[in-house]
Chain A
């Protein structure tokens, strides 16, 4: 049991709508990362939040945005949904940011949110 939880489990939206996905990090973890995983592909890094600030970002457009709260939980917001946004969205938490060079870089993943855009 990793302790990372995500909500909702499944979500269906239509093109052009906006969506908010939520993640609660494991106790004691101050870093949260978000990933998009299309069917049959490896996860794609969206961004990372450390102590409420974004400090790393993959190749995703600005309509993908996020927040991290003082309790280190996080939200992923996607505006103007497109069909290609349909994917499994994964959240991962860690004790330290990915670049710290520590063994505590290990990430613990939640079960994901399956988003379908029609």
Chain B
């Protein structure tokens, strides 16, 4: 059974700081990994999707890496801004004939002005 863990559960940083969010998963046989952002009471916004054959993806100030063999992914946010404050979730797609998307519980990020 796939399990996804995100560390830390919460993080508070001053504006401008670079930061790293961590995600680990127990079954390395994944199809892809996605990072999402969720604002309070709202739906999810996809940030980055990494296929199992890829090592990293970049979008603006965000960079996500994937080490499938060790079951780890990181989301790097450069020059953080107050507008980056949200919960960040990672999710892995895995499974054989009955694949499914498994989410972590998320990291609550607060960027202070």
Question: Which residues of A approach B to under 8 Å, CB–CB?
Answer: 2, 4, 33, 35, 40-45, 56-58, 88, 90, 92, 98-99, 101, 103, 105-112, 114
Contacts and interface: CB of A to CB of B under 8 A. Distances in A.
A88 to B, nearest CB: 8
A98 B49 CA distance: 11
Nearest to B108: A40
Interface of B: 4, 31-32, 34, 36, 41-46, 49, 51, 89, 91, 93, 95, 98-106
Given A105-B49, A106-B46, A109-B44, A98 B31 contact: yes
22 contacts: A2-B45, A42-B104, A43-B44, A43-B89, A44-B103, A45-B100, A45-B103, A56-B100, A57-B98, A92-B44, A103-B49, A103-B51, A105-B32, A106-B46, A107-B46, A109-B36, A109-B43, A109-B45, A109-B46, A111-B43, A112-B43, A114-B41
Mostly, the B contact residues are strand
Contacts of B41: 88, 112, 114
A52 B45 CA distance: 25
A79 B41 CA distance: 25
Contacts of A88: 41
Given A42-B4, A109-B44, A99 B101 contact: no
Contact of A41 (B31, B93, B100, B105): B105
B105 A98 contact: no
Given A42-B103, A42-B105, A108-B46, 19 more contacts: A35-B101, A40-B105, A43-B89, A43-B91, A43-B103, A44-B103, A56-B99, A98-B99, A99-B31, A99-B93, A101-B32, A105-B32, A105-B49, A106-B49, A107-B46, A109-B43, A111-B43, A112-B43, A114-B41
Contacts of B103: 42-45
A45 to B, nearest CB: 5
Nearest to B103: A42
The 8 closest A-B pairs by CB, nearest first: A42-B103, A109-B43, A109-B44, A45-B100, A111-B43, A45-B101, A42-B105, A58-B100
